[in-house]
């Protein structure tokens, strides 16, 4: 297997100090910094066609040149913070906001295409678009399916008894999502009917599920679980009695990588849950999902540091500590800032 060319790659990450940082993926040196947001950047950036799209708690969605960090346009319609990560599909950017609205925005100029205002609560969940349908959770306790072209609602899954801040994952016609009601749900992507419910997480589920080879990996405040994707039956679980997992797991080549609230970044065998290694240098909690690229895992921590960790050994490659406040967003790797798509919380570890 060939190792991806990482010579020009950058890692983009937002921080609670209102900055969006781009650093060299190999060395951790700063390429550029965007400091226009007046509030924390809690949204993970997405890159498409050489442009970085990121939301901020000042209620704006920003479009930046991936090479320079210069602002191209700003979408300011949301009246509340834009915390979810935007998704780009077919020339349209989809993003939710704390005002309870999901927005579809033209990728070129930042003009609104449609808005879906059915949610009765803030939207903390990042949208997922698959086969022309947008799936998104809401703090009103519902999971929505919306026509990605028109914004018209297709169905509503209303069984969760608490906010759905977990971002949905769609695989093989099924939507997987966690809820603050201490459950994980599998829902038919076409009809919105329940497929199964896992009600043993032992704590709220803010983590977004990762689905790999028929297994659903998800964390809660008390444990990390692997579930059978067809039945919801547990395959294995790892108890974390003194901490919890808010971060979304990243699974690459048979290894699961995930951070926890005790500041530990773990590598586990994806088949058994057995520990491979731990990286415990961060001094603050880890709610950032990790992103894998070219043999490294990139992950942020509440100590204001972005870490690059060797995926095989858990040894630190470098640390970027320029942010003056915590990092709660998943880093985004851009292999070529000129035109290549970004890699968010996924990728090949080679």
Q: What would the pLDDT profile of 22-35 be if each residue is shown by its tens digit?
A: 999 999 999 999 99
Q: Which residues contact 273 (CB under 8 A, 6 or more apart)?
A: 224, 226, 236, 237, 238, 256
* pLDDT value for 345: 53
Q: Please, what is the end-to-end C-alpha distance for the chain in angstroms?
A: 7
What's the whole-number mean pLDDT along residues 81-97? 94
Residue with the bigger pLDDT between 281 and 340: it is 281
* pLDDT value for 118: 73
153-165, pLDDT tens digit by residue?
Answer: 999 999 999 999 9
* Residue 347 binned pLDDT confidence (cut-offs 50, 70, 90): very low
Asked whether the whole model's pTM tops 0.75, one would answer yes
* pLDDT value for 7: 75
Describe the chain by its helix, strand, coil percentages, rounded to 5.
0, 45, 55
Inform me whether the pLDDT recorded for 21 exceeds 90: yes
* pLDDT value for 202: 78
Answer whether 144's CB lies under 8 Å from 119's CB.
yes
Work out the mean pLDDT of the chain and round it to a whole number: 92
What's the whole-number mean pLDDT along residues 324-340? 85
Per CATH, is 10-344 categorized as 2.130.10.10? yes
* pLDDT value for 336: 76
Inform me whether the pLDDT recorded for 43 exceeds 60: yes
Inform me whether the pLDDT recorded for 187 exceeds 60: yes
* pLDDT value for 200: 85
46-67, pLDDT tens digit by residue?
Answer: 999 899 999 999 999 999 999 9
* pLDDT value for 242: 77
Q: What is the residue extent of each domain of the chain?
A: 10-344
Answer whether 272's CB lies under 8 Å from 236's CB.
yes
Q: What is the dihedral of CA 112, 116, 117, 122, to 10 degrees?
A: -90
| Bridge partners of residue 105, in order along the sequence | 93, 112
What's the whole-number mean pLDDT along residues 287-300? 95
What's the whole-number mean pLDDT along residues 182-196? 97
* pLDDT value for 327: 96
* Residue 343 binned pLDDT confidence (cut-offs 50, 70, 90): low
Torsion-angle region of 313 (φ positive above 0: left; ψ -120 to 50: alpha; else: beta): alpha
* pLDDT value for 5: 52
What's the whole-number mean pLDDT along residues 335-345? 63
* pLDDT value for 350: 34
Inform me whether the pLDDT recorded for 344 exceeds 60: no
235-247, pLDDT tens digit by residue?
Answer: 999 988 678 898 9
* pLDDT value for 243: 82
* pLDDT value for 348: 36
* pLDDT value for 346: 42
What's the whole-number mean pLDDT along residues 200-228? 92
| Degrees, nearest 5: CA angle 77-78-84 | 130
Answer whether 58's CB lies under 8 Å from 40's CB.
no
């Amino acid at each position: 297997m060939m190792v991806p060319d990482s010579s020009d790659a950058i890692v983009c990450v937002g921080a609670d100090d209102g900055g969006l940082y781009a650093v060299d993926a190999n060395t951790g040196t700063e390429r550029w910094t965007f400091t226009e947001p007046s509030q924390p950047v809690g949204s993970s950036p997405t890159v498409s066609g050489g442009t970085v799209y990121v939301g901020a708690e000042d209620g704006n969605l920003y479009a930046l040149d991936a090479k320079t960090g210069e602002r191209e346009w700003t979408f300011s319609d949301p009246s509340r913070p834009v915390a979810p990560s935007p998704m780009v599909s077919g020339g349209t950017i989809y993003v939710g906001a704390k005002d309870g609205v999901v927005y579809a925005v033209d990728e070129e100029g930042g003009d609104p295409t449609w808005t879906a205002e059915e949610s009765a609560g803030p939207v903390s969940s990042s949208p997922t678009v698959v086969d022309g349908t947008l799936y998104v959770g809401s703090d009103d306790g519902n999971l929505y399916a919306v026509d990605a072209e028109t914004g018209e609602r297709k169905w509503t899954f209303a069984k969760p008894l608490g906010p759905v801040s977990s971002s949905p994952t769609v695989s093989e016609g099924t939507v997987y999502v966690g809820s603050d009601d201490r459950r994980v749900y599998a829902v038919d992507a076409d009809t919105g009917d329940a497929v199964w419910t896992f009600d043993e997480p032992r704590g709220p589920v803010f983590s977004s599920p990762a689905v790999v080879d028929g297994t659903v990996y998800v964390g809660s405040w008390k444990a990390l679980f692997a579930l059978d994707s067809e039945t919801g039956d547990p395959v294995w679980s790892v108890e974390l009695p003194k901490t919890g997992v808010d971060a979304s797991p990243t699974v690459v080549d048979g290894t699961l990588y995930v951070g926890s609230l005790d500041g530990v970044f773990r590598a586990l065998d994806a088949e058994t849950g057995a520990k491979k290694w731990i990286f415990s240098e961060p001094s603050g909690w880890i709610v950032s999902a990790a992103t894998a690229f070219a043999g490294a895992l990139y992950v942020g921590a509440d100590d204001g540091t972005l870490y690059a960790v060797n995926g095989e050994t858990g040894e630190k490659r470098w640390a970027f500590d320029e942010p003056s406040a915590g990092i709660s967003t998943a880093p985004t790797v851009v292999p070529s800032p000129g035109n290549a798509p970004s890699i968010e919380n996924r990728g090949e570890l080679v």
